[in-house]
Amino acid sequence: MTQLDVRPGADDTGDGATAEGMRTKGLSGNSVGLLGSAVIGVSTVAPVYCLTSTLGSTAGEVGVQMPAVFLAGFLPMLLVAFAYRELNKAMPDCGTSFTWTVKAFGPRVGWMCGWGLVIATIIVLSNLAGVATSYFWLLAGEITGSDSVAALDGNKAVHIVTCLALIALATVVSYRGMTATKGLQYTLVGLQLLVLAVFVAMAFSKAGDAEFATSAEFSWSWLNPFAVQSFAAFTAGLSLSIFMYWGWDACLTANEETSGSSRTPGRAALVAMVVLVGSYLATGVAAQMAVGSGDQGLGLANPETSDNVFAALAGPVMGPALGVLLFVAVLSSAAASLQTTFIPVARTVLAMSTYEALPASYAKVHPRFRTPGRATVTAGVATGVFYTVMTLVSEHVLVDTIYALGLMICFYYALTAFACAWYFRGDLLRSGRDLLFKGVFPVLGGLLLAAVFAKTLADMWDPAYGSGSSVLGVGSVFVIGVGLLLLGVVIMAVMGRRSPAFFRGEVLTRSTPALVVED
């Protein structure tokens, strides 16, 4: 695949950039097809990990309407996915949200959108590494039959060292390129989806058994979001549901390495979304039929097990032998996502550097692997340092940082959705399709996510939100979430002095021509 500037007479600078147009990055083209791209999208979301960590919490908020909330969370993500697809058709650039919002709204809004993606990804990477570490030792304990081996995860030093080792391994695989990533992901994603299917089938078969005293009979009302007992409960459940879909856009950030880069990533994102919503609905309904959504016994909302549902249900639903496979699936899910989540952050940093919004050193691509090597390694180091510091400072701070993640997700997804409608505003009346997919759907998705952003921001002010800690009477989740966004403003101000051309709008503007992609 070659990428060329469309502006007549534009000269190649020789370093992968065009003199006047959008810039190539030197990444390896044609490395991923439709299936590989969709697998990357599913892997980054980590469906099995998301389910074990949020099934119980969502049931605790909305009760038996948990499947309905999964559907409600899918809606804004689907609408935003249409925006990504349309923007990618016009501008297949690995900077995705950053590049597109710069061209729609200018350099400062675009820079903050890119920052939102980067900081959200660092938080997720650290959380995934922690989960993978915990399940590594839990699985080791199950295999050896030793409680003392499983208890090693409780040793802070052992936990941190194991976590750093997993981060280093994931960084190395990502560093070696999309081909290495794709091969590993086929195995890990296939394994977790297969085990999840077995769990769903066995949960359905055991629903109503005498040994499951809390089981519930299926009702179509489970799919009715308007049956949730209160608006506060609905928004809390919706926030959790949105988190469960986050990460599908990873296949878009690999667009310059994908065959048919203007169309394939958008299609892959929609395929990934369908796989995810199908998996979530099937698992949610099956689990609820088997054990119910109450807070007693094996009920999904039992506070003693709600933060790790599969650890509690593996044995009762699948039996001792097959139950171990569910632990393997959660570990595979977290490990796979840990590795692919490096893709969006590294390529966003690469694009920001290429367009002079970050130091030029991050625009370097490895000559052999054709990957953003320095950006990938920096993301790995930042993740390791972040997780280590947060773990040593306070477990409460680490938990609250994860709760603040929803704010970042809604922030940059909503901006990207609005950017689509604004960028294509001149096309909206050309056809009914353009009006819907470039205007109505993106705006609706952006408004829904903006509403969740505002409601989450208000809820975060309360010290009871998250771990229950506070700073000067203000909830620590609010302080962390807003503080991280303000940190981006400070870094942007510093970069404004170092790279004035970008912030004056001289590098990337609405009129900057896109790249011609020849497959």
Query: What is the three-class DSSP state of 474?
Result: strand
Q: What are the structure tokens assigned to 60, written together? A: 């605790």
Mean pLDDT of the chain: 85
Alpha carbon 356 to its chain centroid, in Å, reads 26
Q: What is the pLDDT of residue 18?
A: 37
How far apart are alpha carbons 69 and 287 in whole angstroms? 15
Per-residue pLDDT, 11: 33
Q: Find, among 98, 33, 21, the residue nearest to 362 by Cα.
A: 98
Compute φ and ψ for 233, nearest 5 degrees: -65, -40
Mean pLDDT along residues 300-316: 85
Q: Which residues contact 383 (CB under 8 A, 6 or more apart)?
A: 122, 125, 126, 129, 167
**Helix segments in 145-230, DSSP class H:** 147-150, 156-175, 178-206
Q: How far apart are CA 454 and CA 470, in angstroms?
A: 20
Return the pLDDT at 180: 60
274: Cβ contacts below 8 Å, ≥ 6 apart? none
Kindly state the average pLDDT of the residues 290-310: 85
Does residue 46 sit in helix, strand or coil?
A: coil
% of the chain at pLDDT higher than 70: 92
Question: What is d(CA 81, CA 242) in angstroms, rounded to the nearest whole number?
Answer: 13
Q: For residue 320, how many other CB atoms are within 10 A of its CB? A: 10
Q: What is the pLDDT of residues 108-145, one digit of tens each?
A: 999 999 999 999 888 888 888 888 888 889 889 888 88
Tokens coding 427: 């096309």
Q: Return the half-sphere exposure (C-beta side, CA atoms, 13 A cut-off) of residue 300.
A: 30
3-state secondary structure of 487: helix
216, pLDDT greater than 80: yes
Between 370 and 220, the more confident residue is 220
Count the Cβ atoms, other than its own, within 10 Å of residue 504.
Answer: 10
pLDDT digits (tens, 9 = 90+) for 163-207: 999 999 989 888 887 666 667 788 888 999 999 999 999 999 988
Q: What does the pLDDT read at residue 21?
A: 58
Q: Are 244 and 280 in contact (CB under 8 A)?
A: yes
CB atoms inside a 10 Å sphere around CB 503: 20
Look up residue 275 and give its two tokens.
Answer: 């796989």
pLDDT over threshold 80, residue 500: yes
Enclosing H/E stretch for 518: strand 515-518
The dihedral region occupied by 258, where left means phi > 0, alpha psi between -120 and 50, and beta the remainder, is beta
pLDDT over 90 (residue 257): no
Closest CA to 513 of 66, 76, 42, 24: 24
Task: Please list, in sequence order, all residues whose beta carbon lies within 8 angstroms of the beta carbon of residue 361, skipping any fewer than 6 positions away.
Answer: 353, 374
Alpha helices, H only, 3-65 = 34-45, 47-62
**What's the chain's length in residues?**
519
- 152 token code pair: 């090693």
pTM of the model: 0.86
Give the integer Cα–Cα distance in Å for 224 and 235: 15
Q: What is the pLDDT of residue 502?
A: 93
Q: Residue 53: name the closest of 320, 324, 350, 399 by CA.
A: 399
Of 327-336, 405-414, 461-470, which range is least confident?
Answer: 461-470
Least Cα distance to 118 among 400, 423, 378, 397 occurs for 378
Higher pLDDT, 423 or 125: 423
pLDDT at 518 over 60: no
* Whether the predicted pLDDT of 436 surpasses 70: yes
Residues 275, 58: Cα–Cα separation, whole Å: 20
pLDDT attached to residue 420: 97
Instruction: With cut-offs at 50, 70 and 90, classify the pLDDT of residue 214.
Output: confident
430: β partners: none
Q: Are residues 46 and 125 in contact, defined by beta-carbon separation less than 8 angstroms?
A: no
CA torsion angle for 265, 266, 268, 274 (degrees, to 10)? 160
Q: What is the pLDDT of residue 101?
A: 96
d(CA 249, CA 258): 14
Residue type, position 43, single letter = S
Confidence class for position 9, pLDDT limits 50, 70, 90: very low
Instruction: Tell me what pLDDT residue 195 has.
Output: 93
- Give the separation between CA 321 and CA 324, rounded to whole angstroms: 6
Do the beta carbons of residue 296 and residue 67 sit within 8 Å?
no
| CA 511/CA 519 separation, integer angstroms | 24
Mean pLDDT for the stretch of residues 68-86: 93
pLDDT for position 179: 66
Q: What is the pLDDT of residue 19?
A: 35
The mean per-residue pLDDT over the stretch 252-281 comes to 90
Tens digits of per-residue pLDDT, 14-40? Answer: 333 333 456 677 677 677 889 888 988
